[in-house]
Amino acid sequence: MALLTVAFVQVRGSSQDEATDVAGTAAPTSIQPIAFPHSIHAGQDRIDCQYCHFSAERSVAAGIPPVATCWGCHQVIRGTTEEQQAEIAKVVGYWERQEPIPWVRVYKVSDHVRFPHMRHVAAQVDCTECHGQVAETAGVIEKPVQSLSMGWCVSCHKEREASRDCAVCHF
Ligand code: HEC
Ligand code: HEC
Ligand code: HEC
Ligand code: HEC
Ligand code: HEC
């Protein structure tokens, strides 16, 4: 019995080490140019989603913030830990070179589909219903929390009595 317990503890120990290794390699293999954490900005600091995604309530696209939005704070906020300072230094670099940050787009439907953010915001469908708990996401957003299939759209439209006409979603 004692032997079994020891073996069990060792297995747990080694699988935890593996988990740490995976987490440790996450940042360098990221698809995004900067390790931007939503958990600090939208979570801890409670910055409103639409402060950055400024066009969600009035246009089709939610919008990705320009580097000037970041500069508003990072002109003075340079980070506490070395890791934070290194990532924020990248933001400063893009600002100084006056280059846009080349964020990689994650949520995207085909060109024959029309998805209007403003209609969903107006109908009070929360961002989290489609994008998950973004404010708690510590790592970069690398893939959608669910497939953006027609079935997904249509089943919510059925539930909420929104239009299911083909022409409403398709060009
Ligand atoms: C301080 C600015 C800022 C705030 C506040 C913010 N975001 Fe973001 N968001 C970004 C940046 C920069 C990106 C691009 C980097 C990335 O994809 O991780 C992004 C990416 C995203 C994406 C993925 C976009 C894509 O490429 O498809 C979603 C979804 C998103 N944000 C939702 C939210 C939601 C929901 C909130 C509020 C809970 C929020 N964001 C708050 C700056 C912000
Ligand atoms: C309203 C103020 C504000 C805005 C706007 C803002 N940030 Fe931040 N950011 C912060 C604060 C506060 C921290 C935490 C710094 C600390 O703890 O020392 C931070 C931290 C960071 C970090 C380091 C996080 C980590 O844990 O490694 C990065 C990278 C970053 N911001 C990128 C961005 C980018 C990119 C934008 C623009 C899309 C942006 N920030 C916009 C306030 C802001
Ligand atoms: C009903 C589902 C739904 C809701 C609610 C929703 N989104 Fe989206 N979001 C999507 C889909 C689908 C896409 C891809 C759209 C496309 O490719 O045209 C997307 C794309 C995005 C993008 C990528 C860039 C862009 O300009 O569109 C960001 C950022 C984003 N959403 C943020 C938000 C924020 C912030 C909210 C809340 C204010 C929100 N979304 C509410 C489904 C949703
Ligand atoms: C979580 C629920 C939900 C999901 C998921 C969802 N929608 Fe919607 N959609 C709504 C609601 C609610 C409305 C508002 C209906 C209204 O204004 O009467 C709406 C409205 C629309 C409209 C405007 C309809 C009109 O009558 O002009 C379009 C277009 C649309 N959605 C496309 C999409 C597409 C494309 C997807 C998937 C990529 C999607 N929606 C996913 C809930 C959702
Ligand atoms: C609420 C929005 C919505 C409605 C209503 C809707 N679709 Fe779609 N449809 C989508 C989305 C989203 C996709 C998947 C697009 C993608 O893969 O990015 C899709 C995909 C398709 C495809 C497959 C094309 C491909 O990319 O493989 C066809 C065909 C199609 N729809 C036809 C229809 C027809 C016919 C109707 C009416 C009976 C209809 N759709 C109604 C949102 C909608």
Q: Are 91 and 109 in contact (CB under 8 A)?
A: no
More confident residue, 26 or 53: 53
DSSP-assigned states of every residue in 75-88:
TT---SSHHHHHHH
In a domain, 107, yes or no: yes
CA atoms within 13 A on the CB side of 31: 8
Domain count, the chain: 1
**Out of 2-16, 20-34, 41-55, 106-120, least confident range:** 2-16
Ligand 5 centroid, distance to 66 Cα (angstroms): 32
Domain of 41, in residue numbers: 33-64+103-169
In a domain, 161, yes or no: yes
Tell me, what's the pLDDT at 13? Answer: 33
pLDDT in tens, 134-149: 999 999 998 999 899 9
Residue 68 tokens read as: 């000037």
Ligand 2 centroid, distance to 4 Cα (angstroms): 48
In a domain, 130, yes or no: yes
In a domain, 26, yes or no: no
In a domain, 129, yes or no: yes
Residue 55 is which amino acid? S
Quote the CA–CA distance of 161 and 86 in Å, as a whole number. 48
